[in-house]
């Protein structure tokens, strides 16, 4: 609407999106059926190609490449936005609840105390450590 329409409406958008093809450009051996109502030698088809009277006959127009770049830009921005949102959600919602983390820390502390106590008992039996716990 912004680049094509002179008044900012959708007027002329359909014709802008269609490309013209001159039916006389068909190969001579192509069979073309015509009816009596045919008043034009051109037909429109979906695409962004140059017109048959242009010097770059049927080549892709620059607007095609602008649209491809815009679509690619949208995909990249959309994908990046989704990655950021999912990372943020993953960061905000912890995998392990805090109560479970505290319980695991407490069990690790008790386990370490038991290991230290067992090693101290073994050291006393071997006579490495004195009765006060020092060597």
Residue 117: partners with Cβ closer than 8 Å, 6 or more residues away: none
- If asked whether residues 49 and 106 sit together in one domain, one would say no
Does residue 4 lie in a domain region?
no
- If asked whether residues 71 and 102 sit together in one domain, one would say no
Does residue 48 lie in a domain region?
yes
Q: How many domains is the chain partitioned into structurally?
A: 2
User: What does pLDDT average to over the chain?
Assistant: 84
What confidence tens digit (pLDDT) does each residue in 79-109 have?
Answer: 999 999 999 999 998 888 889 999 999 999 9
- If asked whether residues 88 and 115 sit together in one domain, one would say no
- If asked whether residues 112 and 84 sit together in one domain, one would say no
- If asked whether residues 119 and 88 sit together in one domain, one would say no
pTM for this one? 0.56
Domain span at 43 = 13-92
46 φ, ψ (degrees, to nearest 5): -70, 125
What pLDDT score was predicted for residue 101? 92
Residue 19: partners with Cβ closer than 8 Å, 6 or more residues away: 44, 45, 46, 47, 48, 49, 50, 51, 58
């Amino acid at each position: 609407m912004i680049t094509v329409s002179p008044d900012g409406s959708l007027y002329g958008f359909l014709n802008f999106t269609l490309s013209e093809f001159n039916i006389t450009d068909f190969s001579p051996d192509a069979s073309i059926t015509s009816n009596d109502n045919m008043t034009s030698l051109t037909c429109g088809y979906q695409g962004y190609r140059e017109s048959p009277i242009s010097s770059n006959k049927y080549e892709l127009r620059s607007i095609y490449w602008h649209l491809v770049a815009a679509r690619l830009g949208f995909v990249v921005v959309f994908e990046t936005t989704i990655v950021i949102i999912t990372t943020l959600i993953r960061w905000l919602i912890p995998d392990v609840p805090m109560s479970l983390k505290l319980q695991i820390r407490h069990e690790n502390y008790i386990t370490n105390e038991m290991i230290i106590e067992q090693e101290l008992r073994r050291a006393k039996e071997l006579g490495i450590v004195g009765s006060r716990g020092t060597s």
